[in-house]
Amino acid sequence: MPLAVRFHTLGGPEVLELEEVEVPPPGNGEVRIRTRALGLNRAEAMFRTGDYLDDPVLPQGLGYEAAGVVESIGPEVTGFSVGDAVSVIPAFKMTDYAVHGELVLAPARAVVKHPTHLSWEEAASIWMQFITAYGGLIDLAELRRGDVVVIQAASSSVGLAAIQIANMVGARPIALTRTGAKRAQLMAAGASAVISTQDEDITERLDELTGGVGVQVIFDPVGGPILTRLVEAAAAYANVIIYGALDDEPTQLPVLPLIGKRITIRGFNMFDVTWDPSRLERAVTFVRDGLESGALKPTIDVVFELTEIVAAFKHLESNGQVGKVVITVPEVNAA
């Protein structure tokens, strides 16, 4: 039987196991996919520890992103044929579908034919990062040419996607990172400037970079004390998009700058887009166009094998990566 990533108790990466599972034929609106690569995300790590939007139902499968070949098609599914190369968009709960395994079910509404020039590893890396960045920057903040956008956790896969999307629409991305160790990589990725949050005065540096005008968009998965300094450097009518809470310290907001500048603060998660058919269609079109033109390209940090799933998540959670962590599923296992 095919292997799947599962866990029987909450905890660190070491609770993950590869188990043989029986995968039923696809039901109404489902496709069954022989995977070739799997994309790892912070959301899955949080889900595994019980700190996510949904609680696991133990024993629990895992995984939002996969790429592979359509093995069979359920009733009422159109637009796909057996043998199609596809990838999976996170548009479901992991308690309903979990796609980190060799043979997986996915709802057809969350399955797309990706650009043919992508490798399996690249195809498993695109939708979480690019739709999250698209949803926050384009769908919500309406980022446009000439805007300055500050991107927290810029070396993450979503951060790198945000840099690319900002450049794609003619905006100016400023990358924030904890130390200067990743400065050269972030500049090479397209950042117009890089600020080390441990070594520089963020507000002062942003004032300098914007000539005192301030930044139009703040894209933040971190929160914590730094958000106060970012708001202080924001322009009038700026948009602050918060899509994560990586900092355990309390997040305090400077109320007077918030009121005086008429700033909008909005919590966001990708499901705002992926659960809305019309918004999802626009997002997929935007991302696919960017991939086809070369304006968007997934950055892969390291590739592990399926048997190294624990090591892969340990690497992801070490915060040392630049880009996406990917699992490859050998074709011999998918035969």
Residue 276 within a domain: no
* 335: pLDDT strictly greater than 90: no
The whole-angstrom separation of Cα 299 and Cα 171 is 20
Residues 141 and 261 in one domain: yes
Kindly state the DSSP code that residue 76 receives in the 8-state scheme: T
Closest CA to 215 of 237, 199, 193, 194: 237
Residues 201 and 314 in one domain: no
Beta-strand (E) ranges in the chain?
3-7, 16-20, 30-39, 60-61, 65-73, 85-88, 103-107, 111-112, 148-151, 172-177, 193-196, 215-220, 234-242, 264-267, 300-305, 324-328
Residues in the chain: 335
* 334: pLDDT strictly greater than 90: no
The whole-angstrom separation of Cα 92 and Cα 127 is 13
* 275: pLDDT strictly greater than 80: yes
pTM exceeding the 0.85 threshold for the entire prediction = yes
The whole-angstrom separation of Cα 94 and Cα 176 is 31
Residues 144 and 255 in one domain: yes
Residue 19: CATH number of its domain: 3.90.180.10
Residue 222: CATH number of its domain: 3.40.50.720
pLDDT digits (tens, 9 = 90+) for 196-206: 999 999 999 99
Residue 238 within a domain: yes
Tell me which of 99 and 53 has the higher pLDDT: 99
8 Å CB contact between 65 and 99 = yes
Residues 108 and 160 in one domain: no
Residues 325 and 264 in one domain: no
**pLDDT in the model for residue 245:** 82
Q: How confident is the model at residue 332 (pLDDT cuts 50, 70, 90)?
A: low
Residue 313 within a domain: yes
pLDDT digits (tens, 9 = 90+) for 130-182: 999 999 999 999 999 999 999 999 999 999 999 999 999 999 999 999 888 99
* 333: pLDDT strictly greater than 80: no
Residues 110 and 149 in one domain: no
Residue 210 within a domain: yes
pLDDT digits (tens, 9 = 90+) for 88-117: 999 999 999 999 999 999 999 999 999 999
Backbone angles phi, psi at 33, to 5 degrees: -125, 130
Domain assignment of residue 25, given as a range: 3-126+298-334
Residue 103 within a domain: yes
Residues 143 and 261 in one domain: yes
The domain total for the chain is 2
Residue 280 within a domain: no
Residue 290 within a domain: no
Averaged pLDDT, 1-24: 97
